[in-house]
Structure formats: C-alpha cells, structure tokens
Homo-oligomer: A and B are copies of this chain.
Amino acid sequence: MRSAGCGHEGTTVTRLRCADWSCKGTTVTRMCSAGWSCEGTTVTRMRCAGWSCEGTTVTRMRSPHHAGTDCPKENKNVHALEGVFSAACTLEETTLHVTDNMDLHILDHRLRVISISKNGLVNFTHPLIKLIFLRSRTRCKFFSLTETPENYTVVLDEEGFKELQPSEHLMVEGSIWLPLNVASNGNASSSSQAVGVTKIAKSVIAPLAEQHVSVFMLSTYQTDFILVKEKDLSVVISTLEEEFNIYKEVGGESVPIHCQDVPNGLQKNGKEAIQPTVHPVVIPKNQFCVMSLDPDTLPSIATTLIDVLFYSNSPKEDAANQGLDCIKFFSFSLIDGYISLVMDTEAQRQFPADLLFTSSSGELWRMVRIGGQPLGFDECGIVAQISQPLADSDISAYYISTFSFDHALVPEEDIVSVTDMLQHQRKDPAAS
C-alpha cells in the first residue's frame, strides 16, 4: 500500500508508505511515515512518527522526532530507535511542528579515528574490553570497532581515546571529527523508502562533496553518522543550513546553530569542482546482517563477542575465508547506549539466535568495498559517488568507512543492479 490517505481501520498492511491520516487498529509491517495519529497500530518498522502514536507497538522506529528518546523507553515497545534526540517530551505532549526543513544535529562528541594493526590488537585487548563491556568504568559514549582484512578501525570520543596508550601498532588520524545526524521530520514528504546513507545522499552527502568536505561515514543499526572534520564545521553549516535546521547538542540540549556562530563562519572551501577519482571496487561473496542487541544482554554474548573480535584472526581462519572470495569484516559499535553489530552470516552463527535482533524482514546485505589503495582522509566525493546513483535507484545502503577503505552494504536482491551501475560508472565516470 503506497498511501493510506484516509482511515483504513483494521486493515493488515505489509508495507505502508504514508499513513497521513488515522489508521487505528492497522497492522503494518513497514511504515514509512506516520504523519498523523495512529493509535493502537502495530508497526514493525516505522520511519517517521511525526505525530502522536499512543499505544502503538513499534519494533523499529527510525525517527520519532517529536517523541524524543525518553518516551519510547517508558513505552517499552520500541526496540530500536534511529536518531538521537534530547527532548524528554512525552508522546501525549507532542504538538504539530510544521517546517519544510529537516533537522541536522551536530552531536556532542569529539571523535578520533584510529587504526590498530592486525598483530598489534593483543596490546589493546585490555582497554578495548573495558570500552565494550564495562560501561561503569568509562565515560566513553561513542565507540566503534571495525575489523577489516587490513587492520582494526576504532572511532571513539576523547574519553575513550585516553584509554589507548601510544604504540607502534596504533595510527591516529590527525583530525578531530564531529558526528552529524539527520533527523527526518514527521512531515518530510520524502518520496524515498530507502534507508541508510541513500536517504541523505542528495541532501547531505552531495552538497558536502561539492564543497570539498571530506566525510567519514558510520552507519549503524539505529542511524547513520556523518563524521566531518571539526575544522570543516563552518563550511558544513554554511553548506547545509539552507536545507536543514541545524542544532548543536550541548550537554544534552539541542541548541540551534547558524553559520555566523562558528569561528571561521561563512567560509566555504570554494575550490573548483574536480572530476572525482573512480575507485576500484570489490564485491565479496559473504552475506551480511545489521543487528542490534539490548545493552543489558551484552554480558550474555561477552565470551562469543570477545572470541570473534580478539581471537578469530588466526592465519588459518583468514585463509579459509580468502579461498571463498569472502572478506573479513566485523563491526561493533556502542554509541550513546545503543549497540549495533555488522557481521557476516558465518560470524552470526556463533551467537545465540535469540539475543541479537534485526529488522523483522531479516534482510541480508552484500558488500561493495571501495578503494584499491587506502583512501586516506582528505579526498572528497567518495561516499557521494556511490550514494547518489543508489539514491537515484532508491536502493538502501549502509555505509561504513574504515581507516583504509570504504564499505557500502546494499540489499542482497539489489547487488546485481548495483554491480551493473558501478561497472557503468567505471566506463563512463562523467555520467555519474
């Protein structure tokens, strides 16, 4: 069902794109936008809940903009929540907030991007286990660890960074990175149903690429973080403030911010657009899933997760993977209390089936790994190059940058068309 413009009470709908009006009692597997009230609705996956939705059972809610994070927790019915919100309003108190703009939040984390060498990981087991499992012992609020065949990429805030001792096995990217997060408004009349980086391709990724702002993407189960260098912040704001209401999170408060508020404001990079490099891509054969976990059950998978993260890097296991054209890729993140895991189905089998959860459709994803040589941190347009055509085709994509390469995850059923698209792009870069 594309649009439920009027009341369809009692209907069972697998995919509902827009529920502009009331649809009380409806069972919806996937709801794109619940612009109005939908009391009593059972929604497996809800993109935007712009209005009140008292009594609704939502398995996955991407953007409950007005509701705020505190409500769904009280409601206890939302398993995963995309977007980070500071307002502690209740669902009942929600009021209409009409705007043509979407909201962009500059989150209150100053991040470092680090690589740990493969054989150097043993030296960092102690701080990493602390950061992953012992929340009471650290003030780190943003932590991500991704294993690739080359190395381990760690993205973490300054509190977490303090835990890591300098070492020959550690490479620290020189910049401070700030994570941005797009919160779709309830009434944002997006025509796209795609999730992930695809939905911000035209509004965020492309404009930043045009302004020569390098981005480091980190998609998680809950949301997509766009990391930009702190020094580029004024350019970022001046570039995006036409399209977005921009807020800076400061100590739990969302403060509106404008270009003139930022030192070196109003400044754009202003370089001429140059033809972006078309990087070679690899499409490994393994299938990936993007999962989450109740933080309270993290101890239950501790030994398995420790085994997979810290002890699975034997030459034998790697060789077995390589032989099958598979890639070693495992990502764990714990950001503002939310856990996200990206792993292939081989790794997934090691975990108890009842603790990790993914969207009810149980999608599997295929990887497009971008880059022949390490990409570095200065080149612009890499994410744009792949996310724009995905947006044109309305294909969802998670996107995870690492220290050396970038990784897009697209739905398994779309991998053929994505491959075709990329081959076309390589032959005719100017067309993209």
Q: Which residues of A contact B (CB under 8 A)?
A: 121-123, 125-127, 129-130, 133-134, 137, 298-300, 302-304, 306-307, 310-311
Contact = CB atoms under 8 A, between A and B. Distances in A.
Q: Oligomeric state, in number of copies?
A: 2
A129 B299 CA distance: 15
A195 to B, nearest CB: 32
Contacts of A121: 126
A343 to B, nearest CB: 18
A302 B297 CA distance: 12
B122 A311 contact: no
**6 closest Cβ contacts across the A-B interface?**
A125-B126, A122-B126, A299-B303, A302-B302, A125-B125, A302-B303
B125 A311 contact: no
A119 to B, nearest CB: 11
A72 to B, nearest CB: 26
Given A299-B303, A302-B299, A303-B302, A129 B137 contact: no
Contacts of A127: 122
A156 B251 CA distance: 49
B123 A311 contact: no
Interface of A is mostly: helix
A303 B133 contact: yes
B311 A130 contact: yes
Contacts of A304: 299
A130 B133 CA distance: 16
Nearest to A312: B137
Contact of A129 (B134, B300, B306): B306
Contacts of A130: 311
Contact of A134 (B125, B134, B311): B311
A302 B134 CA distance: 11
A365 to B, nearest CB: 28
9 contacts: A122-B127, A123-B126, A125-B125, A125-B126, A134-B307, A299-B300, A299-B303, A299-B304, A302-B303
A130 B125 CA distance: 11
A311 B137 CA distance: 8
A385 to B, nearest CB: 39
A93 to B, nearest CB: 38
Nearest to A136: B307
A126 to B, nearest CB: 4
Contacts of A307: 133-134, 137
A121 B129 CA distance: 14
A121 B126 CA distance: 9
A306 to B, nearest CB: 6
B126 A310 contact: yes
A348 B212 CA distance: 57
Contacts of A311: 130, 134, 137
Contacts of A129: 125, 129, 306, 310
A314 to B, nearest CB: 9
| Most B-side CB within 10 Å, residue of A122, A300, A303 | A303
Nearest to A125: B126
A133 B308 CA distance: 13
A130 to B, nearest CB: 6
